[in-house]
Amino acid sequence: MRSAMGRSTATTITVQGLDLCDDVLGTLNLGDFAFLEITGKRPDAHQSVVFNAMLATLVEHGMTPMVMAARLTYLGAPESLQAAVAAGLCGIGSTFAGTAEGAAKLLQAAYGTAGDATHVLAARIVAEHRAARRPIPGLGHNLHKPVDPRTTRLFELAGEHGLHGRYVALMNAISVEAERAANKPGQLPVNATGALGALCCELAIPWQLCRGLAVIGRSVGIVGHLAEELRNPIARTLWERTEAETSGVDEAPGGDQP
């Protein structure tokens, strides 16, 4: 068995061929280090800007179900911060934060098997998903419409740094075609995870690893929520209000039970 990830001696730690103390600490920021770990190489200046922005995109989005799960777990087990973080991360999936994986898989498969023009590929993808009654990963948001501002900024950065290529173009084309086919203008924008999936493709990151970017970002955000929980506890109130609102049975007028 062999691994090139890292090795240690009594006096040195080597990571991806670099000396941790001399070549990494104080030299690579966390995003660049993550890129090194995932791809096996240091990012260039353009890749660094875009990849760090990608990691920051999903750090925080308010009181989401996953951070509520983390806060409530921490309420029950304050001695185990890592369990609270893990509880929150378990909520990353096909509904919340995890659809970069599906978007990247879709895009990589499209260009891996066909040489058609972008608009032709987009039309085919939309038609197939509509026929199967499957949602297209990376499109739509309950709040951010007609555009997701995170997507706008990510694609701007990609353009500025030479990473606005065919995958970004196809993701945008799929959004346009999906809105046209469903007659829902402005309702199916490329969301943040769709943008992340497209940019992972531009960076040649396999689709199987794309959800990992959400894990990295959300981990930071969840620890931040637990830090706020220490300063301003709300988990107990969340629990008590939920219990109060769901456990009682109101009596109808005259004493009859509804």
Contact (Cβ atoms closer than 8 angstroms) between residue 177 and residue 119: yes
CATH class of 62-236: mainly alpha
pLDDT bracket for residue 95 (50, 70, 90): confident
Domain boundaries, the chain: 62-236
Instruction: Classify residue 112 as left (phi > 0), alpha (psi -120 to 50) or beta.
Output: alpha
The answer on pLDDT for 255 being more than 80 is no
pLDDT for 122: 95
Task: Give the model confidence (pLDDT) of 139-190 as tens digits.
Answer: 998 889 999 999 999 999 999 999 999 999 999 999 999 999 999 999 999 9
pLDDT bracket for residue 254 (50, 70, 90): very low
Average pLDDT, the chain: 92
User: Alpha-carbon distance 248 to 52, whole Å?
Assistant: 48
